[in-house]
């Protein structure tokens, strides 16, 4: 009696089928660690993925089994994603920059069956092989092992079908404290997330785009780009090396229009540009996320005529939570106001919802002032960590607490003010460590800065600023204080500025504040003589 629509499970292999059928000739370029470049296409990736699926079945990988990778960005890694997922497996991308202890924990916890790895990570494999208890097969992503293995197959293979709610990918959070936790993505969540990503309000991808994702394939599902790129049928350019000379040269040779990466990537690129006078000539859109993009970076890219998409997300959110794009009144804003807007973390795409709650769990108004814990829900947001006995990690209404502190503006724009554990609590008021750091790196001569709360007898905590000078710079603490005074409230000014050679980072390039707090927690108690600035 009633009409209706077709059964069509939203499964990841449909993405590669589409790319092969509709954009089969569009190129996938890889720059390898040995300095060579190879070219394949979406059709080539699809063909090799089917062969890999056959090879994995011969290795007795079964539906739901985890197939791990320890690898940089290149076409074979992309083949591994689609091949492992296409045969019903779960691709588990391991971050090679983690400590040995974490690498052992993660692979054992995931019960990985096969490990595909880059030759550069052979030392890790040799070192940890005896401690990895579940891995039965090791395959190096080189010509001999990987290419010979798939060359033995005929590629005559039909993808495994099944429900869209089956898992397809596993990523562990970097975890600055405790053991890393696994986030299990599903076919459906990955497909919906990727469909959203190509829209103009997100990454703005289409078949005419040429994308060079600098974000590693082992970090937060490579921001979903391997999936979104297949939907768009764009040309992909991968580099297994994160060197600004290589990246800038590739961007110009391949006419790259879109790129995405964490802020540190662009810092290195700017240094290269300053030293050589070269620049990426064809870039139109750069997406920055993973940590707050400093104002000076956003401004410089925008002055080059590049649209900057400032994105916020986490492994637990697939990872896109918010992303900035020009609003309706963009052209009416002057340049400074445009930069101000891009410094905030953008808006939610359809699918996810945000709210901010205070310490009593009361929902805060979207007034651009009230800050609190940022919570999120939606079809690509985590419900429960992989194999976690603690149960679901969301509340009754499905809200997931992100651990970030944020403000929501009336227009829906979200602004991260801090990580809840990094906020500096001074005299009952909150000081944003992120804002202090961003203001500090805007001072000439400052390469990197970390603001942490250190114990104080009267104010509970006061800010201490650790600064790495740019090479050759002689910037002083007074210079930085004067600069900061123009950007933050007086009582936010750090009680002390210490110069250090370098700052510790997590495996995904974020400042490792826990280590800094441990080292400096009692610094002020030990050294402070002068009373802190009055809180006004």
Shortest CB 317 distance to ligand AMP, Å: 8
| Cα(136)–Cα(33) distance, integer angstroms | 27
334 burial type by CB count under 10 A (0-12 exposed, 13-18 middle, 19+ buried): exposed
DSSP E strands, 265-399: 285-288, 307-313, 320-323, 353-357, 371-377
In terms of CB distance, is 315 or 325 closer to ligand AMP? 315
Catalytic residue among 173, 176, 257, 287: 173
Shortest CB 293 distance to ligand AMP, Å: 6
Catalytic residue among 58, 62, 255, 425: 425
Q: Is the dihedral of CA 486, 487, 490, 492 positive or negative?
A: negative
The neighbouring-strand residues paired with 323 are 311, 347
Shortest CB 184 distance to ligand AMP, Å: 14
Catalytic residue among 430, 491, 510, 514: 430
Shortest CB 263 distance to ligand AMP, Å: 8
Q: Report which of 324, 263, 323, 255 is spatially closest to residue 283, judged by C-alpha positions.
A: 255
In terms of CB distance, is 75 or 173 closer to ligand AMP? 173
> Is it true that the peptide bond before 429 is cis, omega within 30 degrees of 0?
no
Going by their DSSP bridges, the two strands 27-31 and 37-41 should be labelled as antiparallel
| Integer-rounded Cα radius of gyration of the chain | 24
Transcribe 477-510 into DSSP letters: HHHHHHHHHTTS-GGGS-SEEEE-S---B-TTS-
In terms of CB distance, is 190 or 345 closer to ligand AMP? 345
In terms of CB distance, is 55 or 376 closer to ligand AMP? 376
Shortest CB 75 distance to ligand AMP, Å: 24
In the complex, the residues that contact ligand AMP under the rule CB under 6 A are: 173-174, 220, 289-292, 310-315, 319, 345, 402-404, 416, 419, 508
Element (H, E) at 139: strand 137-140
Catalytic residue among 316, 435, 448, 496: 316
| Cα(528)–Cα(532) distance, integer angstroms | 9
Task: Tell me whether residue 430 is one of the annotated catalytic residues.
Answer: yes
Shortest CB 452 distance to ligand AMP, Å: 15
Shortest CB 119 distance to ligand AMP, Å: 26
CB 380 within 8 A of CB 169: no
DSSP E strands, 199-327: 210-213, 235-239, 258-261, 285-288, 307-313, 320-323
In terms of CB distance, is 97 or 278 closer to ligand AMP? 97
| Backbone angles phi and psi of 274, in degrees to 5 | -65, -40
Shortest CB 434 distance to ligand AMP, Å: 7
In terms of CB distance, is 41 or 345 closer to ligand AMP? 345
Q: Long-range contacts: 326-331, Cβ < 8 Å, 24+?
A: 327/411
CA-to-CA dists, residue 164 to 15, 161, 415, 530, angstroms: 13, 9, 33, 62
Q: Report which of 436, 440, 171 is spatially closest to residue 316, judged by C-alpha positions.
A: 171
CB 224 within 8 A of CB 259: no
In terms of CB distance, is 196 or 345 closer to ligand AMP? 345
In terms of CB distance, is 164 or 404 closer to ligand AMP? 404
Q: Which two tokens stand for residue 474?
A: 């002689």
Residues composing the chain: 536
Shortest CB 421 distance to ligand AMP, Å: 10
Task: Tell me whether residue 316 is one of the annotated catalytic residues.
Answer: yes
In terms of CB distance, is 190 or 508 closer to ligand AMP? 508
CB 256 within 8 A of CB 212: yes
Please list the active-site residues: 173, 316, 425, 430
């Amino acid at each position: 009696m009633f009409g209706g629509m077709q059964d069509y499970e939203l499964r990841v292999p449909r993405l590669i089928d589409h790319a092969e059928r509709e954009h089969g000739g569009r190129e996938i370029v890889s720059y390898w660690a040995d300095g060579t470049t190879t070219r394949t296409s979406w059709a080539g990736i699809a063909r090799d993925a089917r062969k890999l699926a056959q090879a994995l079945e011969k290795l007795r990988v079964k539906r739901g089994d985890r197939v791990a990778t320890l690898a940089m960005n290149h076409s074979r890694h992309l083949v591994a994603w689609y091949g492992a997922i296409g045969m019903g497996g779960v691709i588990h991308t391991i971050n090679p920059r983690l400590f040995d202890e974490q690498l052992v924990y993660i692979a054992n916890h995931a019960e990985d069956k096969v490990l595909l790895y880059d030759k550069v990570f052979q030392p890790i494999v040799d070192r940890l092989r005896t401690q990895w208890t579940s891995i039965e097969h090791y395959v190096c992503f080189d010509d001999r092992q990987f290419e010979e293995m798939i060359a033995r197959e005929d590629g005559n293979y039909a993808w495994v079908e099944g429900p869209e709610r089956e898992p397809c990918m596993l990523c562990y959070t970097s975890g600055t404290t405790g053991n890393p936790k696994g986030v299990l993505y599903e076919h459906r969540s990955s497909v919906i997330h990727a469909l959203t990503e190509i829209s103009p309000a997100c990454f703005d991808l289409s078949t005419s785009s040429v994308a060079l994702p600098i974000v590693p394939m082992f970090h937060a599902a490579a921001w979903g780009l391997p999936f979104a790129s297949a939907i768009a049928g764009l040309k992909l350019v991968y580099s297994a090396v994160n060197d600004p000379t290589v990246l800038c040269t590739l961007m110009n040779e391949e006419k790259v229009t879109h790129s995405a990466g964490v802020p540190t990537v662009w810092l290195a690129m700017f240094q290269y540009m300053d030293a050589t006078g070269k620049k990426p000539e064809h870039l139109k859109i750069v997406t920055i996320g993973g940590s707050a993009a400093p104002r000076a970076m956003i401004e410089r890219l925008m002055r080059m005529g590049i649209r900057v998409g400032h994105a916020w997300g986490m492994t637990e959110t697939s990872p896109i939570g918010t992303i900035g794009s020009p609003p309706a009144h963009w052209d009416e804003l002057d340049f400074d106001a445009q930069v101000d807007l891009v410094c905030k973390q953008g808006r939610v795409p359809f699918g996810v919802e945000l709210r901010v709650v205070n310490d009593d769990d009361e929902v805060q108004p979207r007034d651009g002032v009230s800050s609190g814990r940022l919570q999120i829900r939606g079809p690509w947001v985590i419900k429960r960590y992989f194999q976690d006995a603690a149960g679901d990690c969301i509340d009754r209404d499905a809200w997931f607490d992100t651990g970030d502190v944020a403000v929501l503006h009336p227009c829906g724009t979200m602004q991260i003010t801090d990580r809840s554990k990094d906020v500096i609590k001074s005299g009952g008021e909150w000081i944003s460590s992120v804002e202090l750091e961003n203001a500090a790196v805007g001072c000439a001569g400052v390469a990197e800065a970390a603001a942490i709360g250190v114990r104080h007898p009267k104010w509970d905590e006061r800010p201490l600023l650790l600064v790495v000078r740019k090479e050759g710079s002689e910037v002083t603490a007074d210079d930085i204080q004067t600069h900061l005074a123009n950007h933050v409230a007086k009582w936010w000014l750090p009680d002390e500025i210490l110069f250090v050679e370098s700052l510790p980072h997590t495996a995904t390039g974020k400042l490792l504040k826990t280590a800094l707090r441990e080292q400096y927690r009692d610094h002020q108690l030990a050294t402070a003589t002068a009373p802190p600035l009055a809180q006004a």
